[in-house]
Structure 1
Amino acid sequence: MLPDNLSHLAAFAAVARHSSFRKAGAELGLSTSAVSYAIRNLEERLGVNLFNRTTRSVALTDAGQRLAERLQPVLHDLGDALEEMNHFRSSASGTLRINTSRAASYMLLMPLAARFLAAYPGIHLEIGEDDSFVDIVGSGFDAGVRLLEAVPEDMVAVPIGPKLRAAVVASPAYLQGRSVPLHPNDLMQHECVRYRFPSGRYYKWEFEKDGVAVEVDVSGRIALSDVHAEVRAAVDGIGIGSVPESYVNGLLETGRLVRMLDDWCPVIPGFMLYYPKQRRVSSALRAFIDLARLEAAAAGV
């Protein structure tokens, strides 16, 4: 017995994946009450309970587990069939929602946005900037962009940008009368501009040279949560900052900032675009990934 509307089955599959009506609704773009209605309607039509519900948890019954196992390949094949229709369109379309850190937005997404929107006039792009950890499924995003170390284990991660490197910098005014750090531990004798994560944790500066890794929990009287503000603090002579080098290349060229510990700053993997393993890659998301990779290749990455 199939429901008149296959969306009821899609709602069931989403709740089964997330064990949550709210997260299922976020994935499907529906309210929690709409998802609950779909499940209740499906259960009434089948004549069995598919979930055991409490105020704190949602779990599949034996019947629900069996249906989920049988339904997964069916919905997968159905999704493949619908996705094939994209090949008959002249261009990808839809709304693409990406959650990202502010640094990734500045360095990667915004430079791509203009070219992406020009290439795909049928796509609407929404970029949510948030430096704290975000459940992209529960928050209604199609994908996220973070450094590899911040990507959840249950996600597919796709490299879409160039490799990154930090720059340890200070203004000539700050360095006047002070010794230039020659080893990362020398930073403990200096005022440093600290970065504070939304969680309240402070970033520990990471260095590596000749296979030797050093982590320094720097000290300083100012802590910021925005890279642009860190750069400004360094330019104003407040202290030494550690920021992505793309933020300060121009300031280094003009001499407003001086770089140090250059041989201790390794190249690290760039930003990753990630999405749930169970979720099909939409035509809009695929188009974005392809363009990002093309841009990276053109830049010789």
Structure 2
Amino acid sequence: MNPRKFSDLVIFHRVAEKRSFTAAARSLGVTQSAVSQTVKRLEGDLRIRLLSRSTRSLSPTAAGERLLHTLSPVIAEIDAEIDDLEQLREEPGGRLRVTCGKHAANTLVWPAFSRLLAAHPEIEGELSVENGYVDIVAERFDVGVRMRDDLEMDMVSVPVGPPLRSVVVGAPGYLATCDRPRIPRDLAGHRCIGFRTAGGTLSPWSFEKDGHAETVKVTPSVVVNDGDALVGAAHARMGLAYMLEDLAAPFLADGRLVEVLSDWSPEFPGYHAFYSSRRQPTRAFTLFLERLRQVARERTVAREAG
């Protein structure tokens, strides 16, 4: 293939992916006019329109969609292979892009990520904190950190975090006004604070005792979509809240919140690092994994000591 045509295809792929000449030019570090002329030249060479343009939008034509469908996995594979060549270097340089949710970032990922970059400044690091679903292949992340239940089947996953536990908590002032729940079904008689996930659904309240699992669908009087707001609403006596124990720990320690249904709240497996099964882990990824596990061990020791 003519080297110029390959370059033109890569630029078309970026434009079609971004749905914008401006965004594609910015990501490639070139001018918008250069990108526009390249796509125009490619369309001339192929003698077919690849993009449908208007004053407000840009989208691939049927031919453009077909070409994009062919190019995307090929370009992704080339990018992955170039990243994998990093293993052949003695120093773990290159790029490491990580995605995770807010809780994982605060408790596990950021400590490990910052230690890695401090020890290896030659690594170009990027951390994206998103509570919603992220397609790490399409978004070109090297690794994600999520709960095991959230992972796709074609992902390789390895456990990196300590066990977690979800708890139901309320403020002493709220609990003084009512009977404390003894079993999950008692929650129906309580004001509850719901948590709306990034996908728009309300997070279920799941319990287990003596091998019996139970999920309660509460009707919340208050709904939030942030962990800190969830803790704050419980502390403000708005009702009972269901959350990861880590979020409530400082409030439980000094009595500002009280746990209920503790015998229905066992531990469950913690966070996993995951990556595409189509690529080999880089040296930077391996070092990042080591630091994740180190942070997890430190948290486990601190929890057992405390």
TM-score, normalised with respect to structure 2: 0.72
Amino acid at match of 1:89: E
2:170 counterpart of 1:170: yes
Partner of 1:50: none
Structure 2 SS opposite 1:109: helix
CA RMSD of aligned residues (A): 4.3
Partner of 2:292: 292
Which residues in structure 2 correspond to 1:15-34 (within 5 Å)? none
What percentage of aligned pairs have identical amino acids?
34
Would you say how many aligned residue pairs link Structure 1 and Structure 2? Answer: 288
Residues 86 and 283 of structure 2 are in contact (CA less than 8 Å); yes or no, is this contact kept in structure 1?
A: no
- Return the alpha-carbon distance in structure 1 between the equivalents of residues 10 and 246 of structure 2: 43
Partner of 2:44: none
Partner of 1:150: 150
- Return the alpha-carbon distance in structure 2 between the equivalents of residues 102 and 250 of structure 1: 17
Residue 204 of structure 1: how far off its partner (Å): 1.2
Amino acid at match of 1:283: R
- Segments of 5+ residues of structure 2 without an aligned counterpart are 42-58, 302-306
- Return the alpha-carbon distance in structure 1 between the equivalents of residues 143 and 119 of structure 2: 20
Residues 86 and 92 of structure 1 are in contact (CA less than 8 Å); yes or no, is this contact kept in structure 2?
A: no
Partner of 1:134: 134
Amino acid at match of 2:137: V
Structure 2 SS opposite 1:286: helix
1:82–1:111 distance in 2 versus 1, CA, 3 Å: closer
Which residues in structure 2 correspond to 1:18-167 (within 5 Å)? 83=84, 86=87, 88-94=89-95, 96-167=96-167
**What whole-Å deviation, never above 9, does each CA across 1:91-123 have from its counterpart, x for those lacking one?**
4443x2222222222222123233222222112
Amino acid at match of 1:265: S
Residues 92 and 287 of structure 1 are in contact (CA less than 8 Å); yes or no, is this contact kept in structure 2?
A: no
Amino acid at match of 1:236: A
Amino acid at match of 1:178: C
- Return the alpha-carbon distance in structure 2 between the equivalents of residues 22 and 136 of structure 1: 16
Residues 22 and 138 of structure 1 are in contact (CA less than 8 Å); yes or no, is this contact kept in structure 2?
A: no
1:185–1:148 distance in 2 versus 1, CA, 3 Å: same
Amino acid at match of 1:167: V
Residue 84 of structure 1: how far off its partner (Å): 6.4
Residues 93 and 283 of structure 1 are in contact (CA less than 8 Å); yes or no, is this contact kept in structure 2?
A: no
Residue 160 of structure 1: how far off its partner (Å): 1.4
1:298–1:228 distance in 2 versus 1, CA, 3 Å: closer
TM-score, normalised with respect to structure 1: 0.73
- Return the alpha-carbon distance in structure 1 between the equivalents of residues 278 and 87 of structure 2: 20
Residue 140 of structure 1: how far off its partner (Å): 3.1
Residue 284 of structure 1: how far off its partner (Å): 2.1
- Return the alpha-carbon distance in structure 1 between the equivalents of residues 92 and 99 of structure 2: 23
1:7–1:86 distance in 2 versus 1, CA, 3 Å: farther
1:58–1:153 distance in 2 versus 1, CA, 3 Å: farther
- Return the alpha-carbon distance in structure 1 between the equivalents of residues 160 and 10 of structure 2: 30
Amino acid at match of 1:159: P
